[in-house]
Chain A
Amino acid sequence: MRQIAESIKDRFLKLGIDVPIEDIEERLDELITKFKVPDNEAQRSVVNYFLKKYSIPKNEFYVRQAEPQLIKITDISENGQWANINAKVIQLWENNHESISQVGLLGDETGIIKFTKWKHAELPDLEEGDSYLFRSVVTGEYNDRFQVQLNRNSSAEKLSEPVEVQGGDFTPGPRESELRNIVDLEGDNQWVTVRGKVVQLWENSHESIEQTGLIGDETGVVKFTNWASSELPDMEEGKSYLLKNVVVSEWNGRAQIQLNRGSSIEGLDEDIEVGTSTFTYSGAMVDIQTGSGLIKRCPECKRALVKGACAEHGKVRGEYDLRIKAVLDSGTSTQDALINRELTEELAGISLDGAIAMAADALDPGVVLDRLKQELIGRYYIVSGPKLDRYLLVESIAPQDSLDRELLEAMLAELEVE
């Protein structure tokens, strides 16, 4: 503690102020011993206290410290380290946080790092592709990755010699992203190009959104959002477009695409036929969930009723229906599947009328569910149909009716060899 106190005293001496060491020690002691504050936090708190007391502007104090060392990006290994770096701005990102003026990636010959330039830093805007000497930036750690922050004490000096970036040519520029089928889109902030027809435009009341709706190609349909900040033209329902450089993200387990300032929209003359992809899944039926069996639906919107009421239309006289919400399981994954009335009747050998009669007889629609569980759970099925959310909408379902002898022989042969 004595050491910390002395270093604080020394630093104030350089500013021409002699702070009594006892005062410093007393404050440190209270924080560290009594309030269990970590040493570095206590040190900062004490420094700030005396700066305030002697009305010294904070930046004056910190700037007078020794010039930080010039280091390479790969050497950044500590949180809260001050550093100077020579680096090239390789990418500027979309930024919608009001306290941030610019955010993106910096690179040098050793690595690439994220940077954040705060608004209050009052630094001029950095240009993508230019190289700078950044003085007094602060390192930080977020999600186990280092980043650097440019604050009021930092400066950026443009260099005439470009800094070479590891990995060579890392200029994303107007590089074109890959054209993808909609069914293959997966979240994770990938940049892609998509070709499709606007199937639906949704009403949108949010001022930061220009348009939102559904766009589809031959393989499937995906939600899109065109942000107002992207400054792109509007699209029309029923027309086909090529959307370049859109970002795929995931929400509630479904992929969606977002158009931003880097994206572009091109109208197409062709009329893209929107289709759906069929998925096939095989596994054992391990559960039939509540809401299966004999249910009632709202005559207006066909939603399933809960306790005789529709979520949209209130108490209504429901129409009977038969369906199964099944869970199939392959041993390595699970798949929810919706089975409609026709297929349920066929699969379980119960007609809708038969089910109504069963329920009336027992005074309990639950007997239908019990019967379905008895008939179906534990058996192996192959189902196929399009996917919607987490459900596979079953268009065909067949029990697995024979053992895969080829697989049996192949596995035995493999085991013989060893």
Chain B
Amino acid sequence: MAGFFREVARRVFAQELKDSNLTSRDESDQYAPQYLLTPTGAKVNRIFLVGTLIEKEDIGTDSEYWRGRVSDPTGSFLVYAGQYQPESAQFLSECELPAFVAVVGKASTYTTDDGNVLTSIRPESIQQVDELTRDLWVLETAKETLNRIKGFENEEDPNAKLAKEHYATDTAFYRSIVKKTLESLRENV
């Protein structure tokens, strides 16, 4: 259907998001959303993640600007909230560490002077959740990632083709990550 539609919040592990550096945007439309293409072919604008908030720091100079580090079984996400994300910034300033948190936000990228691309998340919402929610997210993200890997290997998806050209993805690597997260889940429960 034409017109407005809501971006689906993709499920991606921290390791895969960290490995991503290909952004795309429809240049003909100034309101077009920006997407980050991950190595297994997820086209990420909005993202949903649940993990453990392990660090937080106010790195702002004039006004508050909070950076939070949220870890999942594979690595960690960086979440930045300033004056334009007042609810999230307030959450980070008040929250006690460590805590299970659920983050809905937009993926963004930053290119450093030496050409590295850093990925981070600009939150729309951060809420404290329980351990079960975190486990549900890990299982769901494992499932979504495995589905993407399978689609990638069958070359079903145009996004996967693009990802293959850009990253020359080694799917065995991401399979091993999925396997590790599932094993960690089995041990814990």
Contacts and interface: CB of A to CB of B under 8 A. Distances in A.
Nearest to A335: B6
Interface in A330-389: 330-334, 370, 373-374, 377-380
Nearest to B136: A380
B93 to A, nearest CB: 15
Interface in A284-337: 284, 286-287, 327, 329-334
Given A284-B48, A400-B136, A411 B142 contact: yes
Given A329-B48, A331-B11, A418-B175, A377 B136 contact: no
A407 interface: yes
A38 interface: no
Interface string B165-184: 00000000001001100110
A378 B8 contact: no
A405 B11 contact: no
A402 B127 CA distance: 20
A327 B186 CA distance: 30
Interface in A378-418: 378-380, 400-405, 407-409, 411-412, 414-415, 418
B102 A408 contact: no
A231 to B, nearest CB: 32
B10 A331 contact: yes
A374 to B, nearest CB: 6
B132 A331 contact: no
Contacts of A333: 8
Contacts, number: 90
Nearest to B179: A415
B185 A331 contact: no
Given A286-B48, A327-B6, A378 B182 contact: no
Contacts of B139: 403-404, 407-408
Contacts of B135: 403
Interface residues of A, number: 33
B189 interface: yes
Contact of B9 (A331, A380, A408): A331
Nearest to A288: B125
Contacts of A327: 6
A286 to B, nearest CB: 5
Interface in B47-101: 48, 50, 87, 101
A379 B6 contact: no
B185 A415 contact: no
Nearest to A418: B175
B183 A412 contact: yes
A284 B8 contact: no
A332 B50 contact: no
A286 B9 contact: yes
Given A407-B139, A407-B143, A377 B9 contact: no
Given A284-B48, A411-B178, A415-B146, 5 more contacts: A284-B9, A286-B9, A332-B8, A378-B48, A412-B182
Interface of A: 250, 253, 284, 286-287, 327, 329-334, 370, 373-374, 377-380, 400-405, 407-409, 411-412, 414-415, 418
Closest 5 CB pairs of A and B: A378-B102, A378-B127, A331-B11, A415-B179, A286-B104
5 contacts: A327-B6, A331-B144, A332-B144, A333-B8, A378-B103
